[in-house]
Structure 1
Amino acid sequence: MQSMVALVLALLLLLALDGEVASSMDDGQFAYQGFGAARLMLDDAIVTPSGLLMLAQTKCHAFHPTPLSFHKNSTATMNTTVVARSFSTSFVFAIVGKYDGLSSYGLAFVIAPTTNLSTMNSGPYMGLLNTTNGTVNNHVLAVELDTIMNTDNHVGIDVNSLMSRQAKPAGYYADEDGTFRDLRLNSYKPMQVWADYDSQTKQLNVTLSPVQVPKPKNPLLSEAIDLSTIMADIMYVGFSSSAGISLMTRHYVLGWSFSLDGPTPPLDFSKLPILPRVGPKPRSKVFDAVLPMATAFLATALLTAIFFFFWHQRRFAEVREDWEDEFGPHRFVYKDLFLATDGFKDRNLLGIGGFGRVYKGVLPTANLEIAVKRVSHDSRQGVREFIAEVVSIGRLRHRNIVQLLGYCRRKGELLLVYDYMENGSLDKYLHIKNGPTLYWFERCKIIKGVMSSLLYLHEDWEKLVVHRDVKASNVLLDSQMNGRLGDFGLARLYDHGTVAKTTHVVGTMGYLAPELVCTGKATPFTDMFAFGIFLLEVTCGRRPISIDENNNQVLLVDWVLEHHRNGSILDVVDPRLTGNFNKNEVTLLLKLGLMCSHPSPNTRPTMRKVIHYMDGDQPAPDLSPTYMSYSMMMSMHNEGFDSYVTVCPQSEASICTVSGDSSASIFLEGR
């Protein structure tokens, strides 16, 4: 009897639970006036004691716990079709960075088929996507609030990709006069976002305003889009962010409502939690009492302050022109860089290159580690165009590219500010005698990072970027030994589909493609030639050009090709690996190095093709023993290469210039 009662109770409980889930899934409407009692699914996000939802880690997610059904069947025709349901949502948010003027990647409202986003990347992927960015199988819809480094401040609609279908600067259209009013997303001021999708008109509207302003009549974004093929039947709704530990950005959500097939429930601002206070505490009565004394003291010290003001003005004088105002946050103050590097003392010197010295520094106001390159420049050269291009390159955002943060001009020099890379350049791990040795898996990881960065530069960014100086010493290693391509001092930007213009022959001996000498045109295939030499250099642990025991010059590519023809390809592997490597991987990389460094540019593969080989999506290239000789390159070298190119020493600049031009002038003139 007891077992019978227990069985009945269990069945009743199961039915009750099943009904609750179904009701929640079918209802599709909720409202959170704060999140203290909410049972959200959190991934590195937290709910504060006051009820704020806070996303402040490198990668954070927070989802409504119950999945929702976004499909409904349409019987308007003879065949039943799937139609995405209408929905509306609204949320109040605030974004704040610890350091004024510096922010991270931002916050996004997201609709996704799963809450398990652990394999997704942070940074520009915002914890939503990874290298599958852009595929139709992602089934991801997002409204992004982008605040990267305070240079982007826009709202975008993303579908299966972080490349927005539509994006506009943050702001709203005032109902009174229709004028557009700017908003700064990371101002720490609460703002409200509405996202409304109409399944009949197939229109997605996104609206933004400060919390004290009612929902504007005109949306900020309005996109014609059919979500029927994008939405899966069962989806989760929530938030994702990529904050960045180094910048200590915090994303707060104060309240959130959502509804399927109807307007979203309104949020009651009086019930929303209060944001924590930032900045100094309000002054006390004691302060008011001592204020007159302090005023008198300041008056007494006024002459001294004026003296030091003019002294500092002279000491930290900069070159500033009106046209630089448009570059805004990319311009650093020389005084900040001087203090960050402790006056550019030798103890902070990281290295010496063809364009100047590089120093380690820490920004005193942000406690952010940076690398500062001091470059001599000639104001007669196109400085304005050069700085415009530097700022454009500073907009590159990729996990395998050293971030260029900005610049400063002072007297006869230009200072470039980069992210600091803790483990220095790859060059010291390959060529410094008795230096640290990289394991094979570390070399593969670094190579794949450089491959990913070049694919981004050549194909995936809004413009085509030709780096023009791919080599081991320009690959820097972060704290996790990830390879990051840096030093864009020679890079050129083009619109996709345009032809490169003839320019000076610049680059490093041993990495220069043969056609550069004849045409002077830098293209993605000249980058691929240098990348091929780089592959051989990392695998063999030898420089592109070396001197043998008979004092003869040996080209690394010819040496590897000779071993390939003799069937002894594995004999070229860096002996410091002591045989601890994957033979198949080594053979593949050496073959790819030979393919990429082929004298004929039309024979070299694109970077996307190389990645397909590496990933096993295509069979490995077959290089027969009769593979084309590199005597063509040597012939070109002997027939006039020396008469056109002046070589800077490998240990110093590692840069080639034309007709005796200095490396510094090429840095500007080659723009």
Structure 2
Amino acid sequence: MQSLLALGLLLLLRLDGGVAVAAEDGRFAYQGFAAANLTLDGVAAVTPNGLLLLTDTEYQTTGHAFHPAPLRFLESSTTTTNSAAAMARSFSVSFVFAIRSRYDGLTSYGLAFVVAPTSNLSAAESGRYLGLLNGTNGTASDPILAVELDTIMDVEFRDINSNHVGIDVNSLISRQAKQAGYYSDENGAFQELRLNSRQPMQVWVDYDAQVRRLNVTLAPVQLPKPKIPLLSELIDLSLIMADKMYVGFSASGGWGVGTHHYVLGWSFSLDGPAPPLDFSKLPVLPRLGPKPQSKILDVVLPLAATLLVIAMLAAIFFFLWHRRRFAEVREDWEDEFGPHRFAYKDLFHATEGFSGMNLLGVGGFGRVYRGVLYASNLEVAVKRVSHDSKQGIREFIAEVVSIGRLRHRNLAQLLGYCRRKGELLLVYEYMENGSLDKYLYNKNKPALHLSERYRIIRDVASSLLYLHEEWEQIVIHRDIKASNVLLDSRMIGRLGDFGLARLYDHGTVTTTTHVVGTMGYLAPELIRTGKATPLTDVFAFGVFLLEVACGRRPIGSSKDITQVVLVDWVLEHHRSGSILDAVDPCLMGNFNTEEASILLKLGLLCAYPSPTGRPSMRKVMQYLDRDQSIPDLSPTYASYSTIAMMQNEGFDSYIMSCPPSNTSISIVPVESSVEIPQEGR
């Protein structure tokens, strides 16, 4: 009799809890989790009234909850048994969640719906990684799909704000993300929702295998599913999913702010809509705050004391957080450079937290962001590079400040610097039209006429004459290339990026023996001796000149996939009497032949393999201004590759092994690049 009663009670609990499981056909619904047999780890638990609690108030915690059995997400083609032909199945998910903390609007991180090949995510980290990945595995090697509900903005993961919904595939950098909210069915207007509002909300995740589209919809609880999804992404999950995958939830905490991540109900279905959730059967969220007291003083006094303590702790926390967030590296020797030093906080706010929306470009030396300094309303470009404070940083900063005193209409002004942890930030004058290389290689940009290119080349030549001969010291740029030539609002060429520049006094000789620069622009003697001189800049300028005139990279690939050195290619055209055929085909023959001839011949002259055969920048200006005629090239002008092989044993095989790109072989500010051994050393 007792066993029959126990069996009946168990059946009632299952019916009352609203749990329906059918793992075989991939369809289930949890109307609360009191009787659910979920796979839990971390701090995840089911509360006595049936709430799924993923994280509690502990610091740096994670919680995972998965449906116990894997589901088959792929179905093989009926025409072949090849696994590559397997197609992802349609699926539908619906769940109700709530994010709550003791402090309204202040929570730590968020939660995510997850589809993964395993239910064991114990190696994942808490905090910013949402319990999905970790710092050494920032991109998943196994297939993983997640819909994140994130309440913290992380610049590294390119989060758009601290209240967003994102679709993640094998990475915490979302393929698509939007502000949390929904589109009204009445007028289509967007209604913002705050994920950490403490109120329950419902999420729908639907994948249509026929059109390969994943939709994510969010709405307040008990509101009908909006017709317009919040996120809609075209994605072929056949290329991502494994045959069998687990479905569930992950959440993490990271700050000292106690946060509870709850799931109240959850339904799922393969090849059809998820079963609707019955809100009358969902468990109730716990009460926030103390229970009502009969006496007013019993409520007011403890509450006032609690609020006071909270306010003090919050103030201390905010102070420490703010101080750590904007911490900089400052040493006594930097006092003399004070006027040239920017506060990290000012640069952070100017670039909106180094937002991906303000990213101008990514190069071998770091990322460049557009910003506006609030105090002066000045537009700037901020380059973020890494540095080792133990290796010559004092000398480098001194040179940065010296370079900041350069004044020429064809130089991009270096305004100053900032140091923070292992990072160096260089602040430049912002150029509205970006870098010249985009007008040479980006099909979306209009092709520049040859006369415009001629003028820009002359602008760069004028700046190099100033650097080499007219300033109080000799400045060797060491990285002249199209991507380092910037164009202002009037399309005037400005030479920028002095991260590799070196200074020395007139009448002295440079002592540097490190090879730095960009492959394809390096003079042969620089590879052999490691010593940069104004003539190595002239060589790089010659290659740059040919690059602009021909619209080709210094090292490119031919149709038979062999690598072609631009200088040699133009030299062959010159010897065959067809040098004008080397002009950028985008110009379609519509150019001034005299200007084209000057640029191509001058490029070969400046890129002469022997430094004694190259002109100074003053001579270059005279040739460009047509005050003098360019001398004929010597019949003994050997190809770049031939001279390189003669002067530098093994150099030819080295250059031919390099990829046809603008890959730099050193990073700033420390010359940690290839060092060439010298005889007698």
Q: TM-score, normalised by structure 1?
A: 0.52
Aligned-pair CA distance for 1:306: 5.7
Deviation, structure 1 residue 648: 7.6
Pairing partner for 1:416 from 418, 426, 437: 426
Which residue in 2 is equivalent to 1:537?
547
Name which of structure 1's ranges 443-452 and 302-311 shifts more when overlaid on structure 2. Answer: 302-311
Distance 2:380 2:622 in 1: 35
Q: 2:578 — aligned with what?
A: 568
1:314–1:502 CA distance, 2 compared to 1 (3 A)? closer
Contact 1:645 1:656 in 2 (8 A): no
**What CA deviation, in whole Å up to 9, does each residue of 1:39-84 have, x standing for no partner?**
xxxxxxxxxxxxxxxxxxxxxxxxxxxxxxxxxxxxxxxxxxxxxx
CA distance in 2, matches of 1:631, 1:306: 64
Q: Indicate the SS of the match to 1:325.
A: helix
Q: Is the 8 A contact 1:545 1:556 kept in 2?
A: yes
Residues 396 and 669, structure 2, Cα contact 8 Å, conserved in 1:
no
Q: Does 1:308 align with 2:318?
A: yes
Deviation at residue 526 of structure 1 after TM alignment? 0.2
Question: 2:351 matched to 1:341?
Answer: yes
Alignment of structure 1 residues 6-85 onto 2, 5 Å: none
Contact 1:402 1:418 in 2 (8 A): yes
Residue identity opposite 1:387 in structure 2: I
- Which residue among 559, 562, 569 is the counterpart of 1:559? 569
> In structure 2, do the counterparts of structure 1 residues 636 and 434 end up closer, same or farther at CA, with 3 Å as the change threshold?
farther
**Partner of residue 404 from structure 1, selected from 407, 411, 414:** 414
TM-score after normalising by structure 2: 0.51
Kindly indicate whether the alpha-carbon contact (under 8 Å) linking 2:454 and 2:599 is maintained by their aligned counterparts in 1: no
Matched letter for residue 664 of structure 2: I
Confirm or deny: 8 A CA contact 1:514 1:636 kept in the other structure: no
Corresponding residue for 2:240? none
Alpha-carbon offset, residue 305 of structure 1? 5.6
The superposition leaves residues 434-481 of structure 1 with CA deviations (integer Å, 9 ceiling, x where unpaired) of: 532111221111101100100000000000000011111110111111
Partner of 1:654: 663
Partner Cα separation in structure 2 for residue 486 and residue 669 of structure 1: 24
Q: Identify unmatched segments of 5+ residues in structure 2.
A: 1-309, 676-681
Alignment partner of 1:478 is 2:488: yes
Residues 437 and 644 of structure 1, relative CA distance in 2, 3 Å threshold? closer
- Tell me how far 1:588 sits from its aligned partner: 1.1
Alpha-carbon offset, residue 310 of structure 1: 3.2
Residue 462 of structure 2 is aligned with which of 452, 457, 461? 452
Tell me if structure 1 keeps the 8 A contact 2:343–2:418: yes
Checking the alignment, whether the CA contact within 8 Å between 1:393 and 1:404 is kept in structure 2 is yes
Structure 1 unaligned residues grouped into runs of 5+: 1-299
CA RMSD of aligned residues (A): 2.5
After TM superposition, which residue ranges in structure 1, 4 or more long, deviate above 4 angstroms?
300-307, 642-651, 662-665, 667-670
Aligned equivalents of 2:353, 2:646: Cα separation in 1: 47
Deviation of 1:641 after TM superposition, in Å, equals: 2.2
Is the CA contact (8 Å cut-off) linking 1:355 and 1:664 kept in structure 2? Answer: no
Aligned residue runs from structure 1 range 331-480, under 5 A: 331-480=341-490
Q: CA deviation at 1:578?
A: 1.5
Distance 1:325 1:668 in 2: 30
* CA distance in 2 between partners of 1:614 and 1:329 (Å): 38
Task: State which of 323, 327, 334 in structure 1 corresponds to 2:333.
Answer: 323
1:666 to 662, 668, 671: 671
2:507 and 2:341 map into 1 onto residues whose CA distance is 31
CA distance 1:323–1:642, shift in 2 (3 Å): farther
How has the CA–CA distance of structure 1 residues 647 and 563 changed in structure 2, closer, same or farther, with 3 Å as cutoff?
closer
How many angstroms does 1:309 deviate by?
3.2
The answer to whether the Cα contact below 8 Å between 1:564 and 1:625 also exists between their aligned partners in 2 is no
Q: Structure 1 residues 509 and 668, CA, compared in 2 at 3 Å: closer, same or farther?
A: closer
Work out whether residues 528 and 606 of structure 1, in 8 Å CA contact, stay in contact via their aligned partners in 2.
Answer: yes
**What SS does the aligned partner of 1:593 have?**
helix
Distance 1:612 1:327, change over 3 A: same
Question: What is the total number of aligned residue pairs between the two structures?
Answer: 366
**Amino acid corresponding to residue 656 of structure 1 in structure 2:** I
Residue 633 of structure 1: CA displacement? 3.1
Contact 1:356 1:373 in 2 (8 A): yes
Greater Rg by CA: 2
Question: Residue type of the partner of 2:665?
Answer: C
Q: Does 1:518 find its partner at 2:538? A: no
2:381–2:428 CA contact under 8 A, matched in 1: yes
SS in 1 for 2:671: helix
Alpha-carbon shift at residue 647 of structure 1 (Å): 8.2
- Is residue 2:632 matched to residue 1:622? yes
Give, in whole Å, the separation in 2 of the partners of 1:625 and 1:643.
26
* Match for residue 490 of structure 1 among 500, 512, 518: 500
Amino acid at match of 2:612: N
Q: Is the 8 A contact 2:645 2:652 kept in 1?
A: no
Structure 2 counterpart of 1:604: 614
Paired residues of 2:605 and 2:614 also in contact (CA < 8 A): yes
